[in-house]
């Protein structure tokens, strides 16, 4: 079985999917509007806009099935391709994931809790809802926001007055702030036949809305099983195919869905070296309806994101259990350009390794 897999989007996730698939004999074709998409360094890249019908036809002729590198591929594009080739995840899932309001409404429809929220259709509605939440809320665009983009923290009426007027040209949602103890994520994979597996729970740290560090497995908590229960319930309810990541806020007595990503995810990069089977390989296996690989791990792992620039002399480090991934993307502020994974036998050893690496590189996490 040597299928050719098409990937919509040519970023680092597409690149890592291909690198996981090549040892299995799979082939890849990428489709991205940018001729500089980094996945093009490891496979054939078709460069065209997502509404270019001739280019999409050429793409479909070269592949056996199609998956996604990111969730903001136009739903119309996915529906068009699905008429000719199998696509995972589906356009219906994508439509929910692209809209924060639909995402939360979906969760509530299957009794999975989220933060309180209100759809916002103008300044007056925002002021009313903000008072309702005691000016402890965050305004978000319903679409296209990621890594902290399109978000406005509201702690007072003055914060509302400082929001640019053109923001209200967008569909918006107001979410009540959650006083959480930590952020965790569940990586779940489901095949076409309905087989499901999860990896150990991830604990995540963010800075300016961007993931910086993931530790696995997360320190055990009584609510962990509830997070797995909700993630599996979501995947089954969506009839999901592939890897999906559900991010949670954990409070003293609840876990609340923050959002879900219908794709392989930054908080799962550690699985390449830290798990018996990576999220990238199992995503491909799920789409092809092949048996899923073991998602267990030996010891612990941490993923450190490199954002904006790399530390100097990273290639000089040859520590056991340290692995570098450089995406081949041009460095610029706020951009994910690579990551490092550290593996260790136990929590103390992992903690020591992280401190040693940070000190030697002279960076802050």
Q: Is residue 241 part of a domain?
A: yes
Q: Is residue 274 part of a domain?
A: yes
Same domain, 347 and 244: yes
Same domain, 32 and 133: no
Question: What is d(CA 248, CA 266) in angstroms, rounded to the nearest whole number?
Answer: 15
Q: What is the mean pLDDT of residues 23-52?
A: 97
Domains held by the chain: number: 3
Q: What is the mean pLDDT of residues 215-237?
A: 96
Question: What is d(CA 300, CA 298) in angstroms, rounded to the nearest whole number?
Answer: 7
Flag whether pLDDT at 105 surpasses 70. Answer: yes
Same domain, 144 and 283: no
Flag whether pLDDT at 317 surpasses 80. Answer: yes
Q: What is the mean pLDDT of residues 195-206?
A: 95
Same domain, 221 and 354: yes
Is residue 335 a contact partner of residue 38, using CB atoms and an 8 Å limit? Answer: no
Same domain, 317 and 205: yes
Summary mean pLDDT of the chain: 93
- Domain span including residue 82: 4-87
Instruction: Write down the pLDDT at residue 328.
Output: 87
Q: Is residue 109 part of a domain?
A: no
Residue with tokens 């797995």: 228
Instruction: Write down the pLDDT at residue 212.
Output: 86
Tell me the pTM. Answer: 0.94
Lowest pLDDT segment from 15-24, 159-168, 175-184, 194-203: 159-168
Flag whether pLDDT at 75 surpasses 70. Answer: yes
CA dihedral (47, 332, 97, 236) positive or negative: positive
Q: Residue 292 sits in a domain of what CATH number?
A: 3.30.470.20
Q: Is residue 147 part of a domain?
A: yes
pLDDT tens-place string over residues 38-51? 999 999 999 999 99
Same domain, 143 and 236: no
Instruction: Write down the pLDDT at residue 265.
Output: 93
Same domain, 21 and 137: no
Let me know if 160 is exposed, middle or buried by CB neighbors in 10 A (0-12, 13-18, 19+): middle
pLDDT tens-place string over residues 241-275? 999 999 999 999 999 999 999 999 999 999 999 99
Instruction: Write down the pLDDT at residue 37.
Output: 95
Same domain, 334 and 233: yes
Instruction: Write down the pLDDT at residue 334.
Output: 82
Question: What is d(CA 307, CA 29) in angstroms, rounded to the nearest whole number?
Answer: 27
Last residue of a domain, one of 50, 68, 87: 87
- From residue 316, alpha-carbon distances to 111, 113, 312, 322, 361 in Å are 51, 47, 9, 12, 10
Flag whether pLDDT at 336 surpasses 90. Answer: no
Strand partners, 244: 188
Last residue of a domain, one of 153, 176, 199: 176
Question: What is d(CA 85, CA 5) in angstroms, rounded to the nearest whole number?
Answer: 10
Lowest pLDDT segment from 76-90, 99-113, 341-355: 341-355
Same domain, 167 and 199: no
The strand pair at 65-68 and 4-8 is best described as parallel
Q: Residue 125 sits in a domain of what CATH number?
A: 3.30.1490.20
Flag whether pLDDT at 233 surpasses 90. Answer: yes
Identify the CA nearest to 180 among candidates 138, 232, 212: 138
Last residue of a domain, one of 50, 67, 87: 87
Same domain, 273 and 351: yes
Same domain, 188 and 172: no
Instruction: Write down the pLDDT at residue 148.
Output: 58
Q: Residue 43 sits in a domain of what CATH number?
A: 3.40.50.20
């Amino acid at each position: 079985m040597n299928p050719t897999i098409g990937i919509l989007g040519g970023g680092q996730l597409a690149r890592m999917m291909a690198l996981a698939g090549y040892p299995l004999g799979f082939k890849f074709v990428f489709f991205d509007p940018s001729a500089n998409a980094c996945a093009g360094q490891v496979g054939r890249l078709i460069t065209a806009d997502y509404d270019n019908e001739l280019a999409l036809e050429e793409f479909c002729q070269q592949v056996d099935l199609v998956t996604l590198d990111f969730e903001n591929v136009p739903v119309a594009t996915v529906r068009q391709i699905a008429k000719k080739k199998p696509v995972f995840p589906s356009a219906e899932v994508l439509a929910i994931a692209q809209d924060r309001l639909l995402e939360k409404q979906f969760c509530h429809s299957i009794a999975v809790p989220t933060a309180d929220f209100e759809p916002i259709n103008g300044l007056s509605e925002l002021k009313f809802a903000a008072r309702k939440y005691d000016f402890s809320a965050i305004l978000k665009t319903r679409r296209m926001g990621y890594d902290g983009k399109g978000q406005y923290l509201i702690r007072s009426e003055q914060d509302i007055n400082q929001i640019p007027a053109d923001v209200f040209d967008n569909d918006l949602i107001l979410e009540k702030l959650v006083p959480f103890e930590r952020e965790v994520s569940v990586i779940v994979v489901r095949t076409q036949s309905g087989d499901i597996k999860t990896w150990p729970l991830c604990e995540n740290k963010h800075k300016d809305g961007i993931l910086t560090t993931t530790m696995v497995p997360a320190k055990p908590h009584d609510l962990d099983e509830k997070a797995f229960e909700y993630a599996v319930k979501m995947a089954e309810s969506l009839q999901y195919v592939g890897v999906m990541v559900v991010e949670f806020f954990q409070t003293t007595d609840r876990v609340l869905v923050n959002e879900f990503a219908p794709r392989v995810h930054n908080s799962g990069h550690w699985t390449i070296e830290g798990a018996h089977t990576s999220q990238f390989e199992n995503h491909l296996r799920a789409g092809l309806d092949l048996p899923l690989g073991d998602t267990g791990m030996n010891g612990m792992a941490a993923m450190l994101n490199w954002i904006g620039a790399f530390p100097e002399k990273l290639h000089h480090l040859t520590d056991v259990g340290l692995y570098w991934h450089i995406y081949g993307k041009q460095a610029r502020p706020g951009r994910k350009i690579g990551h490092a994974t550290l593996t260790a036998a136990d929590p103390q050893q992992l903690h020591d390794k992280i401190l040693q690496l940070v000190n030697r590189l002279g960076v802050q996490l």
